[in-house]
Structure 1
Amino acid sequence: VAGAALPLLDVAGVLAGAARWGYLALLVSAACVAADRYFGVTSGWMRDVATAQAVQRRLQLLQFDWASENVREVLGPAEGTAGEAAERCLGVLRRFSEDVTELVRTETADWMVEFRVGPAPMGLQSSVAGGGRPDLGGPQGRLALPPAGTRPNMPRQRPPEPR
């Protein structure tokens, strides 16, 4: 705003010599935009907000499912034994845990792919506002994951549970 207003004030004769400062303000603002695109600050923030909202939605779903199981218990054992009720409650917790774990795993893998590429490519920021770009190969402008059959080199926190 200052970059546009100061030269206009100089032309109008309100503030003599302000045009130089306006052009400097435009240069500084262009440098800020370029640095943001190069380092991916805005795209990282938007991914953080999107992931936080996804976790919040899953938490609300867990709270609803848990409340419905509690209501079912208060109404009485019309559907099975106490052991089956406990299994249903554990199933609700297991689904939530697996869902959030998958969300974190996916976001971490996407971040690792983006991190390996280096500074955020220019396409990442512009594609978030205008939809995905086919040349980047992924949704929302994210880079495509490694080919099928391979996975990012991520250490497991615990061994997989038998199904």
Structure 2
Amino acid sequence: MMSDKPGKPAPRRERFNPNALRWDGDNLEPSLERLFRFTVGKAESSIRWYDAKSRPKKRWAQTLRVTAILATALGGILPILSQMPLAEKASVLFNPAWASVAIAVAATALGLDRFFGFSSAWMRFMTTQMHIQSKLEAFQYNWMQERAAWGATPPGFEQAQAMIVNCANFAAEVSKLVEDETQAWVSEFQNVLRRLDETGKAQIAATATGAIVAKVDNGANCADGWRLTVAGKSPQHHRGESGVVSDVFPGSYKVTVSGEIDGRPVQAETMVQVPPGGIVEVPLTLA
């Protein structure tokens, strides 16, 4: 364990140089030990990395998931509470609109979890860490078994070659686990970006503005023209038999036309549904 006391330097980790290993008779055993420590150290370093990185992922995943659960539950309870008026004031306890806010909070929490990949990363990190730990323990037991086979005699060249192969195979297995986890992260991130792009395009298409074309068959009879009013839009003055209101978002609108024919006020109105990016013609007759 590193000391926290000032002035006491941390112990320096021995740098491993495979080219410095010597494989002649007297150096076989110490070289194998150095190779073993290096191979185990790399695996343990990967385990520590995944353990350290999984902790904040776990905290965020649990926080966002609990938030989503509580907000969803609150969204289901609020409409019921809104039907329970206070006896003294005869008013509701809660506005039912808060249920929509709670559901939106739950959806946002889940969306953040999916975008940043907290839950999936936590599970990937734990799984990879456990797999590396399992393979490390198997490798260590196998190494001890090989060492026991030496007895009191130093290892021979064939034994040394077999143990070097074991180290190489174990290191390759650890690297493959890390590579698979990284590839899973890349694939997940690409899928998230693709879904976000598709969602963004769908939202743009769903909110594309359209237009309302009012066709007033007796509009020409209004000597001073007629007024076209669409809910949420400024009134427009038109002459003739048609008028257009552009930049209308999708939804239901009340369309009203009014004017004077032979000094008599006339009016017509109707409800229209404007689809995303659609142009709606509205036939009207002033009366």
Q: Normalising by structure 1, what TM-score?
A: 0.54
Aligned partner (choices 69, 72, 83) of residue 11 of structure 1:
83
Instruction: Give, in whole Å, the separation in 1 of the partners of 2:184 and 2:101.
Output: 38
Greater relative contact order, per chain length (Cα 8 Å cut-off, separation 6+): 1
Which structure 2 residue ranges, 5 or more long, are not aligned? 1-72, 87-91, 197-287
Asked whether 1:49 is paired with 2:111, we answer no
Tell me the CA shift for residue 88 of structure 1.
2.9
Aligned partner (choices 84, 96, 101) of residue 24 of structure 1:
101
Which structure 1 residue ranges, 5 or more long, are not aligned? 123-163
Instruction: Give, in whole Å, the separation in 2 of the partners of 1:83 and 1:7.
Output: 78
- For the 8 Å contact 2:121–2:185, the answer to whether it is kept is no
SS at match of 2:193: coil
Greater fraction helix = 1
SS at match of 1:95: helix
Q: Normalising by structure 2, what TM-score?
A: 0.34
Asked whether 1:97 is paired with 2:148, we answer no
RMSD: 3.3
Instruction: Give, in whole Å, the separation in 1 of the partners of 2:168 and 2:93.
Output: 69
Matches within 5 A, 1:75-94: 82-94=156-168
Percent sequence identity is 28
- For the 8 Å contact 2:132–2:174, the answer to whether it is kept is yes
1:111-132 residue CA offsets vs partner (Å, 9 max, x unmatched): 445545662648xxxxxxxxxx
Instruction: Give, in whole Å, the separation in 2 of the partners of 1:115 and 1:9.
Output: 41
Instruction: Give, in whole Å, the separation in 1 of the partners of 2:96 and 2:84.
Output: 11
Comparing 11-20 with 86-95, greater Cα deviation is found at 11-20
Greater fraction strand = 2
Which has the larger Rg? 2
- For the 8 Å contact 1:40–1:119, the answer to whether it is kept is no
Query: Aligned residues, how many?
Result: 119
Asked whether 1:59 is paired with 2:133, we answer no
Q: Residues 85, 2 of structure 1: CA spacing in aligned structure 2 closer, same or farther, 3 A cutoff?
A: same
